[in-house]
């Protein structure tokens, strides 16, 4: 049967190389001209536990897994069990499993899905230096209709370092796989349209965030490793030096946040990346960046909380702390990417905004956006660049007794000198201060500076970027972050059946945009709010910030179970006359 997209799950025990197989399959699909995504799932073992690669390919860009999987391949019979919840099947799904060495883990749900025993280990043994995962690669490529050529191009690239024998062995295994697959049920995937080299990218959300940061102008990063943010740092650690920038591995998050504040005080756009526990340690000093008006960007790649929670899994529950986690009245920016590729734009824009307003910006990415790898269209480079208002040497404000670092001014943004600039000396301070930066405990100074710090942020012109709005109608879905993907796909399906639904994906969470929001809510009668949180953090934020008209419904659940397009459609079914999918 032919489908517009194909979903494939690959599982195996530790060291069986399912991830390598999955990545190669994804890249091959990309080379062939398909779009695709791949996510990884693994047990608690640091190394050596069961692992699964979940793939989906299509000739349309993808942002979400499908409601169910077409094809499951298990290199070891025992390895499927732990992933059943993540691999919903249909009666017409196919399971290819190497039954050798164990009985197939019985916990698979009851479906009529057809099971086929394929002795991949045995086949691999027959090849000198062969490995079962390369057999699987061939099998899968053949079954989903990828040309052997595209696989071989990937093998060449991936194995050239490993020498000719390794390459030979893999090629041979792939060929074996292709042959073995001939009698397997074939899935006619989406039509294959070749695309010129370089037009498509293979990138993860974490790499995208790193790219957005340096595109925005970030040249100093200090950070302490933490899952699932570490890949952002790993990418920056190798990329920054190329640009004359630097990444410092700090002793802890207290050091990393303060190091970037220090570097930014020195004039370098600076960023740190972390996850919930690290963000919690940084809030005191993010408050310093608010009060001293030193711009920094803090990227939080969210994971399941509370506390250490589930470090490797997705949740959208650092919204509370990002919005309200600072002590005192501390206006700052909070943004969230609305898709994997948007991690580039949103991070880059965050750098621009932080620098323009001399304030901290927290970017809320999440494990799902960050660690998913996708084949996408080459993203455009947007012009947003760090641009900090610096007084010209010799400008009046530098004459006279002292430079007024915290001058109130019209916008609340006061030109900021950089150490080295003569006559611009001042002391940046976390104490409340006068316009000249001298400590003050007077109500008048406190009020004036509180107004300044909040006006500069609420009064800024953010243009259209505060949210992604599309569609029409009086029913609206409001969501954010990684929940946007499944929602978009659900709405695409519903609209294909004539439903009229509007979608609002909020990129700028703080400050609030009352006018923009009321414009967006114009004529809305029904609202569905979708978020991956047990305590409805996003819904409560919307309540506090905005007046939500009409009937409001909240579809929320904690991580790690990702939303499926079909589930969103169910939520909307009675609002648009029955399940249209």
Partner 1 sequence: MTNATTGTGLKAREYKSGIKPVWCPGCGDFTVLGSLTKALSGLQIAPENVAIISGIGCSSRMPTYLSTYGFHGVHGRALALATGLKVARPDLTVIATGGDGDGFSIGGNHFLHTCRRNPDMTYIVMDNQVYGMTKGQASPTTEPNWEKGKLTPSGTGINPFQPLVIALASGANFIARCSSSDQNGTARTIVEAIRHPGFSLVQVLSPCVTFRPEQRDWKKLVQPAPVEATSDPARAARRLLTDKGLFTGVLFKGNRPPYQPLLEPGIDNIAELDEEFRL
Among 1, 46, 112, 410, binds ligand SF4 (CB under 6 A): 46
In angstroms, give the least distance from the CB of 570 to ligand TPP: 36
The only residue of 87, 144, 292, 487 in contact with a second copy, by rule CB under 8 A: 292
Cα–Cα distance for residue pair 303/280, rounded to 1 Å: 13
Question: Binding to a second copy by residue 434, rule CB under 8 A?
Answer: no
CB under 5 to 8 A by kind: which of partner 1, a second copy, ligand TPP, none does 320 bind?
A: a second copy
**Interface with ligand TPP (CB under 6 A), residue from 140, 203, 208, 226:** 226
Q: Is 309 in the site for ligand TPP (CB under 6 A)?
A: no
Task: State yes or no: residue 139 binds ligand TPP (CB under 6 A).
Answer: no
227 exposure class (CB count in 10 Å sphere: 0-12, 13-18, 19+): middle
DSSP state of 48: S
C-alpha to C-alpha distance for 542 and 392, rounded to whole angstroms: 42
Q: Which stretch, 276-284, 333-341, 375-383, 559-567, contacts ligand TPP (CB under 6 A)? A: 276-284
- Rank residues 192 and 254 by Cβ distance to ligand TPP and give the closer one: 254
Spell out where 77-156 has E strands: 89-97, 114-117
Helices (H), 497-548: 514-521, 537-545
Q: What contacts 349, CB < 8 A, 6 or more positions away?
A: 212, 216, 335, 382, 384, 465
Nearer to a second copy, 12 or 558 (CB): 558
Give the residue, chosen from 153, 493, 553, 557, that forms a contact with a second copy under the rule CB under 8 A.
557
The per-residue DSSP string of 373-419 comes to EEEEEPPPPP--------PPTT-GGGSSSS--TT--TTTS------T
Does 25 sit near ligand TPP (CB under 6 A)?
Answer: no
- On whether the CB atoms of residues 545 and 324 are closer than 8 A, the answer is no
C-beta of 192 vs 310, nearer to ligand TPP: 310
Question: Which of ligand SF4, a second copy, ligand TPP, none is residue 317 near (CB under 5 to 8 Å by kind)?
Answer: a second copy
Figure out which of the listed residues 210, 217, 278, 437 binds ligand TPP, where binding follows CB under 6 A: 278
Chain positions 390 to 429 lying near partner 1, rule: CB under 8 A, are: 402, 419-429
The torsion angles phi and psi of 552, rounded to 5 degrees, stand at: -115, 130
Among the listed residues 177, 269, 559, 565, the single contact to a second copy using CB under 8 A: 559
Number of residues that bind a second copy (CB under 8 A): 67
- Do 363 and 322 touch, CB atoms closer than 8 A? no
Spatial contact of 227 and 303, defined as CB atoms under 8 Å apart: yes
Residue 10, helix vs strand vs coil:
strand
Whether residue 507 contacts residue 469, with contact meaning beta carbons closer than 8 Å, is answered with no
For Cα atoms 460, 461, 467, give the angle at the middle one, nearest 5 degrees. 110
Contact flags string 290-309 toward partner 1, x per CB under 8 A = --x--------------xx-
Q: Which of residues 264-283 bind a second copy (CB under 8 A)?
A: 276-277, 279-281, 283
Residue among 228 and 325 whose Cβ is closer to ligand SF4? 228
Of residues 176 and 253, the one with the C-beta less far from partner 1: 253
Q: Which DSSP letter does residue 104 get?
A: -
Match 């989906």 to its residue by tokens.
Answer: 56
Closest distance of CB 365 from a second copy, Å? 14
N residues, the chain: 581
Least spacing, CB of residue 336 vs partner 1, in Å = 22
85 binds, among partner 1, ligand TPP, a second copy, none (CB under 5 to 8 A by kind): a second copy
Q: Of the ranges 57-65, 66-74, 261-269, 465-473, which one interacts with partner 1 (CB under 8 A)?
A: 261-269
Which of 47, 103, 242, 327 binds ligand SF4 (CB under 6 A)? It is: 47
Q: Are 169 and 131 in contact (CB under 8 A)?
A: yes
Could you list the residues that contact ligand SF4 (CB under 6 A)?
46-47
Could you list the residues that contact ligand TPP (CB under 6 A)?
224-226, 253, 277-278, 281, 308
């Amino acid at each position: 049967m032919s489908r517009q997209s194909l979903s494939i799950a690959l599982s195996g025990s530790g060291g069986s190389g399912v991830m390598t197989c999955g990545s190669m399959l994804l890249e091959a699909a990309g080379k062939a001209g398909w779009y695709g995504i791949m996510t990884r799932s693994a047990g608690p073992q640091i190394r050596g536990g069961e692992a699964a690669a979940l793939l989906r390919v299509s000739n349309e860009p993808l942002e979400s897994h499908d409601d169910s999987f077409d094809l499951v391949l298990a290199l070891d019979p025992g390895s499927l069990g732990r992933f059943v919840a993540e691999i919903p099947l249909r009666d017409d799904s196919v399971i290819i499993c190497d039954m050798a060495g164990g009985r197939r883990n019985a916990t698979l749900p009851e479906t009529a899905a057809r099971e086929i025993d394929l002795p991949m280990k045995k086949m691999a043994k027959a090849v000198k230096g062969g490995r079962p995962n390369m057999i699987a690669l061939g099998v899968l490529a053949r079954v989903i209709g990828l040309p052997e050529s595209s696989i071989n191009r990937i093998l060449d690239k991936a194995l050239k370092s490993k020498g000719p024998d390794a390459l030979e062995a893999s090629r041979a295994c792939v060929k074996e796989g292709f042959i073995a697959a001939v009698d397997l049920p074939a899935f006619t995937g989406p039509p294959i349209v070749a695309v010129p080299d370089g037009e498509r990218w293979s990138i993860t959300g974490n790499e995208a965030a790193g790219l957005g940061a340096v595109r925005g102008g970030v040249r100093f990063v200090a950070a302490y490793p933490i899952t699932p943010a570490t890949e952002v740092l790993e990418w920056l650690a190798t990329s920054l030096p190329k640009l004359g920038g630097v990444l410092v591995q700090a002793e802890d998050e207290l050091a990393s946040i303060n190091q970037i504040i220090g570097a930014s005080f020195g004039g370098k756009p600076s960023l740190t990346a972390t996850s919930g526990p690290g963000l919690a340690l940084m809030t005191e000093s993010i408050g310093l960046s608010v009060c001293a008006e030193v711009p920094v960007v803090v990227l939080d790649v969210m994971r399941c909380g509370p506390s250490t929670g589930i470090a490797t899994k997705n949740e959208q529950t650092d919204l509370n702390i990002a919005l309200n986690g600072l002590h005192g009245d501390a206006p700052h920016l909070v943004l969230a990417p609305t898709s994997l590729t948007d991690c580039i734009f949103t991070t880059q824009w965050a750098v621009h905004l932080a620098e323009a307003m001399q304030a901290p910006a927290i970017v809320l990415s999440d494990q799902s956006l960050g660690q998913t790898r996708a084949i996408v269209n080459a993203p455009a480079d947007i012009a947003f660049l760090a641009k900090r208002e610096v007084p010209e040497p010799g400008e009046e404000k530098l004459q006279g007794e002292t430079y007024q670092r915290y001058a109130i001014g019209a916008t609340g943004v006061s030109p900021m000198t950089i150490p080295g600039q003569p006559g611009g000396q001042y002391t940046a301070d976390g104490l409340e201060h006068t316009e000249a930066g001298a400590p003050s405990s007077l109500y008048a100074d406190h009020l004036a500076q509180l107004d300044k710090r909040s006006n500069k942020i609420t009064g800024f012109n953010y243009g259209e970027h505060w949210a992604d709005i599309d569609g029409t109608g009086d029913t609206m879905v409001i969501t954010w972050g990684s929940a946007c993907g499944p929602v978009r796909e659900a709405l695409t399906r519903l609209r294909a059946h004539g439903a009229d639904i509007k979608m609002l994906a909020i990129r700028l969470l703080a400050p609030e945009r009352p006018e923009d929001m009321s414009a967006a809510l114009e004529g809305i009668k029904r609202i569905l709010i979708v978020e991956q949180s047990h305590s409805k953090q996003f819904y409560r934020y919307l309540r506090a910030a905005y007046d939500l008209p009409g009937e409001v419904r909240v579809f929320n659940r904690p991580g790690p179970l990702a939303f499926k397009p079909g589930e969103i459609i169910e939520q909307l079914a009675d609002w648009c006359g029955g399940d249209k999918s």
